[in-house]
Structure 1
Amino acid sequence: MSGQTAAQAMVAATARLRAAGVPDPARDARLLLAHAARIEASRVTLIAPEDLAPDIAERYEQLIALRAVRVPVSHLLGEREFYGRRFKVSGEVLDPRPETEILIEAALSAPFERVLDLGTGSGCILVTLLAERPEATGLGVDLSEVACLQASANAVLHRVADRADVRTSDWFAQVAGRFDLIVSNPPYIALEEMPGLAPEVIEHEPRMALTDGGDGLGAYRRIAAGAPDHLRSGGRLMVEIGPTQALAVSQLFEAAGLSGVRVIPDLDGRDRVVTAVLVE
């Protein structure tokens, strides 16, 4: 990519990514050029006519080579935007997804003072909720110690660390007390569905954050069983689901004695969040 203008390098990179089967190759080529040049993506147009400096060209070459073998853009950038904030991510945690913002909107639709995030991963849900509700405090738990470190770092980054407790726990095992709100985006992909995932997901995201190794409902069984003992009266439980799981998860919540079970669709009309309330 040396001896090229930024625009020429982007065109060549786009063609290379398209040939590798990368979805939306032009967008990725642009984002990665901005990262290589250490500028905001919105400024790429300004440098387009300029020759790429050799060090930028070399960095860009490395980034495009990695993206061509389907390393996710977020891992190459080291961050991912979620609900208007940038979160540090790595291959040790699940990438924040735009669909999960449906869970955030549902959680913010009513007041809460104390929130529990089960399987916190990058901490994007817990940190966002605390950042949006300055009076709230929260606990995030994850079986992965590396994920807990990532979540803690994101809590510091977004200045909520003094209100966020992050600890290693197998679901409710290390959780005491009751909460106004329990949220989770658990592993919900059935083992038989794993081979159908994109290379970016199956090769670069932690397996334990994707699947329970069974029918995809294992986490919901654990959550449904433990939630009534950890919710205050009137407290809400909200989980993200796969688009075919609404009925099964709703039945688990009802069987656990929870009330007002409701399914919320995402922007594409697919079932995305199941909510319930503890009425005592």
Structure 2
Amino acid sequence: MKDAMIQTPANLRHLLSDAATRLRAAGIEAPQREARLLAAHAAGTDLAGLLRIDVLPPGSHDTFMQILQRRLDHEPMAYITGHTGFWSLDMVVSPATLIPRADTETLVEAVMDHLPDRNAPLHVLDIGTGTGCLLLAVLAEYPQAKGIGTDLNPDAAHLAARNAARNGLSARCDMLCCNWADGITGPFDLILSNPPYIPHADLNGLMPEVVRHEPARALDGGADGLVAYRALATIVHDLLAPGGIGVLELGIGQDHSVPALMHNGGLQVLEIRPDLGGIGRALVVKK
């Protein structure tokens, strides 16, 4: 009966209630908010604008039904809407890259504390840039800085360039398709990376949104989750300028193993900064 009610334009309150019930049954967290976000996107408005709507127009109703099914299939909301916020920026996203997470903002906070001169003409390298979120957030905070973002996936590099243009930062960065930092010459005052760090055996235990929809190559850290860090230890050491810092994202429980790899690579750990959940998230190193 509910499915029949929700197939044609209906009172928005009833439509949202039915959608929330279906989202809850699918195991989606905060189903009422998710239903409202989907309806707002379908109607081309925001949550405040949705308050002024009693019935979705036929075209918007059809769109709502389509994107509701996508969310019921655990497609991430950011892929459905096509964008998400990171730091002070609005980032376009696609299945070519991971969706930027709030935990990753911990790296930007660490950069700002360790490099307090906001007018410094920093030369920045972001390895595995994805959407470009880390590099672009730093460039937004340091108006004299310039940078390079690299990604093995050409679609990701193209998306990062699109985000640079979207946020008015194209003139101060280049997004390149390459493996790690192949062909890149330093030195750099700041090296950033949010590398793949999930142990291969743990991938299938991640949330359905991640397992089914986000790119496995951007998550898979090999048998022990540390493959990328072994490469990064050498790259950071070789490309870091005197007095420069590297800031790398860590996975859960890696705040002991990764610092040891960095030490073996000739780097000194300055800080392991926790995210809001208390997990050691941002590793700060220097030569």
Q: TM bucket by the smaller chain?
A: over 0.9
Deviation by residue 1:65-101 (Cα, 9 ceiling, x = unmatched): 1100111100000001111321000111000001001
Q: In 2, distance between residues paired with 1:33 and 1:85?
A: 23
Answer yes or no: is 1:163 the counterpart of 2:172. Answer: yes
Question: SS of the counterpart of 2:244?
Answer: strand
* Amino acid in the other structure paired with 1:30: R
Answer yes or no: is 1:38 the counterpart of 2:39. Answer: no
Q: In 1, distance between residues paired with 2:222 and 2:241?
A: 32
Q: In 1, distance between residues paired with 2:60 and 2:14?
A: 14
Matches within 5 A, 1:127-146: 127-146=136-155
Q: Which residue of 1 aligns with 2:88?
A: 84
Moved more, 227-236 or 260-269: 260-269
Q: Which residue of 2 aligns with 1:218?
A: 227
Q: Which residue of 1 aligns with 2:277?
A: 268
> What is the RMSD of the two structures over their aligned residues, measured on CA atoms?
1.1
Give ranges in structure 2 of 5+ residues lacking alignment. Answer: 1-5
Question: How far did residue 51 of structure 1 move?
Answer: 1.9
Q: Which residue of 2 aligns with 1:9?
A: 15
Question: How far did residue 204 of structure 1 move?
Answer: 0.5
Equivalent of 1:187, from 175, 196, 209?
196
Answer yes or no: is 1:242 the counterpart of 2:260. Answer: no
Equivalent of 1:19, from 25, 29, 32?
25
Pairs aligned (count): 276
Deviation by residue 1:114-153 (Cα, 9 ceiling, x = unmatched): 1100000011111111112111000000110000000000
Equivalent of 1:153, from 156, 162, 167?
162
Q: In 2, distance between residues paired with 1:108 and 1:170?
A: 27
Give the conservation status (yes or no) of the 8 Å contact 2:262–2:269: no
Answer yes or no: is 1:252 the counterpart of 2:258. Answer: no
Matches within 5 A, 1:197-208: 197-208=206-217
> Sequence identity of aligned pairs in percent?
38
Question: SS of the counterpart of 1:93?
Answer: coil
* Amino acid in the other structure paired with 1:205: E
Question: SS of the counterpart of 2:213?
Answer: coil
Q: Which residue of 1 aligns with 2:112?
A: 108
**Structure 1 residue runs of 4 or more that deviate by more than 6 Å after TM superposition:** none
Give the conservation status (yes or no) of the 8 Å contact 1:79–1:87: yes
Give ranges in structure 1 of 5+ residues lacking alignment. Answer: none
TM value normalised by structure 1: 0.96
Question: How far did residue 260 of structure 1 move?
Answer: 3.8
Question: SS of the counterpart of 1:203?
Answer: helix
Q: Which residue of 2 aligns with 1:123?
A: 132
Q: In 2, distance between residues paired with 1:44 and 1:97?
A: 26
Q: In 2, distance between residues paired with 1:28 and 1:35?
A: 11
Q: Which residue of 1 aligns with 2:62?
A: 58
Question: SS of the counterpart of 2:148?
Answer: strand
Question: How far did residue 27 of structure 1 move?
Answer: 1.7
Give the conservation status (yes or no) of the 8 Å contact 1:121–1:148: yes
